[in-house]
Amino acid sequence: MPTLENELRRLMAEETVDLHAAPDLLERVVARTRSRRRRLSATAAALSVAVIAAMPVGYVAAGSLATFPDQVTATVEPPAIDDTPPMRSDPPDLGDLGDGREFGHVKVGYLPKRLRWKHWSIDFGDSYSVTYDYKGDKNGFYCVQIYMYENDASLEVTDRIQTYRSEEDGEDVTVGGRAGYLVIQNVGEDGMKGTPTMFVQLKERQWAEISFSPTYAKDLKSVTAVKAELRKIAQGLSSTL
């Protein structure tokens, strides 16, 4: 029968097997960790029984010392509990949106020429989004993004607008009689041009955020053209709430 020391050495040696970098290293480490925790738990339980069975009659443990001065108890950790959190899954999307001109609780009445839905969306419940580009390619770079905020999520927009106002960044606008705010977000210190964005309130607790990628904004040639297209998209949005 293998001794406790030998068994522990063998188990520790297993921990170094196959430890080399690989593309799927993370997934394999998680899987192996779970497997080893179960195996170590079973081994620990078996060793506990073996140690107890080997104790002489009259043996009474006190911490790690026994009443027999020439013997020391083997302290065995309790079986480990596998509390590894589940791997994060991708957020849900909005499904098949057809031409992408109606999603969630909003209809898109105007899009600049040549733009089409990228077949990409994301859905967090009270906030959700779609993007548009020239090819409808899910894996390509976006040109225009429309992000919707409803109910409690709409407070995020009003807080951001208030921050922009306090920093004197951007300007209040009115779009078709609705409150809005125009600002360039994400201006980088490395010279990036930032993201032209217009917020527009569709309902009391429903806001839309319309953003142009810096590359698409550059394609429009001028600040005047960027503002005009943002305003047209905002004005063409209608709520279905």
Residue 75: predicted pLDDT? 56
Residue 51: predicted pLDDT? 44
Q: Around 24, how many Cα atoms within 13 Å sit in the side-chain half-sphere? A: 5
What's the 3-state SS for the chain? CCCHHHHHHHHHHHCCCCCCCCCCHHHHHHHHHHHHHHHHHHHHHHHHHHHHHHCCCCCCEECCEECCCCCECCCCCCCCCCCCCCCCCCCCCCCCCCCCCEECCEEECCCCCCCEEEEEEEECCCEEEEEEECCCCCCCCCCEEEEEEEHHHHHHHHHHHHHHHHCCCCEEEEECCEEEEEEEECCCCCCCCCEEEEEEEEECCEEEEEEECHHHHHHCCCHHHHHHHHHHHHHHEEECC
Q: What is the pLDDT along the chain (241 residues), one digit of tens a residue?
A: 555 555 555 555 544 444 433 343 344 444 444 444 444 444 444 444 444 444 444 444 444 434 444 554 555 555 555 555 455 567 899 999 999 999 999 999 999 999 999 999 999 999 999 999 999 888 888 999 999 999 999 999 999 999 999 999 999 999 999 999 999 998 765 555 789 999 999 999 999 999 999 999 999 999 999 999 999 999 999 999 9
Residue 90: predicted pLDDT? 77
Residue 193: predicted pLDDT? 74
Burial class (CB in 10 A: 0-12, 13-18, 19+), 74: middle
Residue 105: predicted pLDDT? 97
Residue 186: predicted pLDDT? 84
Q: Rounded to 5 degrees, what are φ and ψ at 51?
A: -65, -45
Residues 6+ apart with CB under 8 A from 202: 106, 178, 208, 237, 238, 239, 241
Residue 49: predicted pLDDT? 43
Instruction: Find the distance separating the first CA and the last CA of the chain, reported in whole Å.
Output: 73
Residue 233: predicted pLDDT? 98
What is the overall mean pLDDT for the chain?
76
Residue 138: predicted pLDDT? 86
Residue 124: predicted pLDDT? 96
Residue 102: predicted pLDDT? 97
Angstrom distance (rounded) from CA 164 to CA 184: 10
Residue 80: predicted pLDDT? 55
Residue 76: predicted pLDDT? 55
Residue 192: predicted pLDDT? 54
Structure tokens at 5: 């020391």
Residue 99: predicted pLDDT? 94
Angstrom distance (rounded) from CA 173 to CA 171: 6
